[in-house]
Structure 1
Amino acid sequence: MGGKSFLFGSFLFGLSILVGFATASRAEQPSIKRAVVISFGLSAGGQGVGCGPDIKGLGKNHVDAKLHDARFYISGLALVERSGREIPVELEQNDWQYADTALLNFADKSGACKGMTTLNDSIKGTVPPGHYEGLVFTVGVPSLVKGEDGKDVVLNHSNFATAPAPLDIQAMAWNWLAGRKFIKIEVDPEGGVTRPPLPQRPKQTASAAPAPGATSDAANGSDPAKADPTKSDPPEAVKVNADGTVTVATWMLHLGSTGCKGDPLTGEIISCSAANRVPVRFAAFNPDKQRVVLDLEALFAGVDLNRDTGGATGCMSGPFDGECPPIFEKLGLNLKETAPDANDAGRPSKTGVKIFRVESKPRAALK
């Protein structure tokens, strides 16, 4: 009996060592991640949009137009499991992606476009293995993210000149207070955009004149509803008509936070009465076979691209800009408070987002 007990005890001891070794080996193995690429596109109905051919029949007046610029920031990208749990996509860090924010660009410097040198239509990252059925993301730049040391890192309300790519692009910045343009889409409609006569300006003294290269707060977005087309950056070419109205070439959508307060120069956290970030959710999405498309036909439905009632040319997120209500309705955002003290300006509305859809990837992209 003593010999059998000794053998059995030795067997259990050896088994425990093997189990412990296997457990330690599994613990030492890095977690396996699945690479994922989320593709995006730009269209007008069923027509692909780029910097070359005309975009046919945009707006309520069905005018042909040329693409001038098209870029937007995406953050909070996550895949949705069957259970409904959202699993964040860990973004690859590169010139297009920083922290959990990425910039998509559909306008280069060809044709009528005045965009960037390189196009970017996808976001790259990793997720844990799993059964994913949906996709969520937000159009916009977060105010803050947690750094590797656990401390807050300012993203939206930061100095573009010292910010990491892709937050370092001057054309996507308004100013430190207003932050970034979350969406910048500009088109040149055939016949241009006719606006009311320019307001008379008082003569400036030398001491009151802005510094060379400076732009007004209105042009930078702190008061976008009062923006003057001659003070945009760069200034728009303005044609004065016989009746005193003026015609400019480009209709602009610049979406960003408004009603912002605080002093970023002293490290004070900025707060904005209208965040104007657009949450998007798709219950069904397959990243291997499908892409997300921003549809300009849906975005500009209800907008007369040949007429502007004043303020900024187009919509620069101003709550009293006459061109913004139909745009914000398509974005699924409240342009103004829905009731006194509701504090829901710039928050998701009941209409839902109408400018994004999911479609099959082009065949060339599937190869």
Structure 2
Amino acid sequence: MNIFKKFFIFLSILGVVSCDPNSKSDDNQTLALLALAMQQPVNLNFEALVGGQSVTFNDTNLTVDGKTVKFKDFRYYISEVKLIRADGSTADVTLDNEFNWQNSGVALVDFETIKTSDTRNKVTGSVLSGNYSGIQFTVGVPDVLNHLDRTTASAPLNIGSMTWAWSSGYKHANIEFSINNDAGYTQFHLGSTTCNAAPNYGCTKKYRASIQLSGEINPSNQKIVLDVDKLLVGYSSAGAVSCMPGTAAPCDTLVQAFGLNISSGAVDSSITQRVFSLK
């Protein structure tokens, strides 16, 4: 139900209460219905940090342990956003449709300034009014949208460098970097594998990270950090490295950083994602 329908319900209930001579201003049931009809804006501000500083594409970035990191690309898709109540129940966030950046419940977070000059660090939408103590979201494109023809798909699912092929689908995350001024770059592309071709598109191994963060949530202005230092724990490279799920060491640690099982591609409860946190 979109925000306009809920607003209509709000007005309808308000009219009924106003016209009923037996209604009371402290009618708890009416207040509960009004609360259900109300929505509040959601504005999630994503940050990418190295050594506690915002990632830059104009210079080297220094990690907490003294490594230098340069980036060529830093983009990922966000979908299936939910806010979590104290009792563990969730409320779906309806994402806005915004030109180039959000459509059909999928948002693109884009920090890079090399391939395009535009950047996008926020995800916007609306959610039922209430108090929330956590957030959940998926890094990746939902299965139902993962095999679109990007040449005809609406933005942000029309970007060639964020796709593999129709059968494999999209790159859920695309992070390309070099360490310690190495001439070769690591291309870390997180996406689904073991996929079927037409007409029965689908992938057995999803590699779609489900991130859950606990803490006091300010839906209208909440910061979420991706910590590159924690992404790079245990990772070293020399020369050009193509890191995709299933390519084994040294890439496994990058996949596991998102809480994913390197063999099945599923979210693994025994592996705690280590890259995202609330700020």
TM-score normalised by the chain length of structure 1: 0.63
Structure 1 position 162, deviation (Å) = 0.5
Deviations 1:300-327 (A, max 9, x none): 111113256xxxx24122x143322211
Alignment of 1:167-178 (within 5 A): 167-178=157-168
Partner of 1:315: 243
Quote the Cα distance in structure 2 between the aligned partners of 1:127 and 1:280.
18
Structure 1 position 45, deviation (Å) = 3.4
Quote the Cα distance in structure 1 between the aligned partners of 2:21 and 2:202.
53
Contact 2:190 2:255 in 1 (8 A): no
Partner of 1:204: none
Quote the Cα distance in structure 2 between the aligned partners of 1:73 and 1:249.
25
Alignment of 1:18-57 (within 5 A): 18-19=19-20, 31-57=37-63
Query: Is 1:351 the equivalent of 2:271?
Result: yes
Gaps of 5+ in 1: 1-15, 109-113, 145-154, 193-247, 337-344, 360-367
CA RMSD of aligned residues (A): 2.8
Q: Which moved more, 1:274-283 or 1:326-335?
A: 326-335
The letter for the 1-side match of 2:169 is: G
Partner of 1:92: 96
Which 4+ stretches in 1 moved above 6 angstroms?
A: none
Contact 1:63 1:305 in 2 (8 A): no
Partner of 1:3: none
Q: Per the alignment, in what secondary structure is the counterpart of residue 150 of structure 2? A: coil
Quote the Cα distance in structure 2 between the aligned partners of 1:290 and 1:33.
16
Quote the Cα distance in structure 2 between the aligned partners of 1:189 and 1:79.
36
Tell me which of 59, 65, 72 is aligned to 1:68. Answer: 72
Tell me which of 195, 200, 214 is aligned to 1:260. Answer: 195
Query: Is 1:295 the equivalent of 2:227?
Result: yes
Contact 2:70 2:181 in 1 (8 A): no
Query: Is 1:330 the equivalent of 2:249?
Result: no
Tell me which of 278, 284, 287 is aligned to 2:209. Answer: 278
Tell me which of 161, 164, 169 is aligned to 2:154. Answer: 164
Structure 1 position 72, deviation (Å) = 0.3
Structure 1 or 2: more strand by fraction: 2
Contact 1:43 1:294 in 2 (8 A): yes
CA gap of 1:21–1:105, structure 2 versus 1, over 3 A, is farther
Q: Which moved more, 1:62-71 or 1:281-290?
A: 281-290
Count of residues paired in the alignment: 254
Q: Per the alignment, in what secondary structure is the counterpart of residue 37 of structure 2? A: coil
Partner of 1:181: 171
Quote the Cα distance in structure 2 between the aligned partners of 1:39 and 1:132.
17
Gaps of 5+ in 2: 1-16, 24-30
Quote the Cα distance in structure 1 between the aligned partners of 2:83 and 2:116.
29
Structure 1 position 274, deviation (Å) = 1.0
Quote the Cα distance in structure 2 between the aligned partners of 1:90 and 1:357.
22
The letter for the 2-side match of 1:42 is: A
Structure 1 position 294, deviation (Å) = 0.8
Identity among equivalent pairs (%): 28
Structure 1 position 297, deviation (Å) = 0.9
Deviations 1:257-313 (A, max 9, x none): 0010131xx4x3x221210000111121423564111111111111113256xxxx2
Partner of 2:186: 251
The letter for the 1-side match of 2:232 is: F
Partner of 2:6: none
TM-score normalised by the chain length of structure 2: 0.82
Deviations 1:15-34 (A, max 9, x none): x9942998xxx999x93321
Quote the Cα distance in structure 2 between the aligned partners of 1:305 and 1:358.
29
Quote the Cα distance in structure 2 between the aligned partners of 1:17 and 1:298.
56
Quote the Cα distance in structure 2 between the aligned partners of 1:139 and 1:316.
15
Quote the Cα distance in structure 1 between the aligned partners of 2:86 and 2:150.
39
Partner of 2:109: 104
The letter for the 2-side match of 1:355 is: V
Quote the Cα distance in structure 1 between the aligned partners of 2:213 and 2:63.
28
Quote the Cα distance in structure 2 between the aligned partners of 1:58 and 1:68.
20
Contact 1:72 1:104 in 2 (8 A): yes
Could you say which structure has the larger radius of gyration? 1
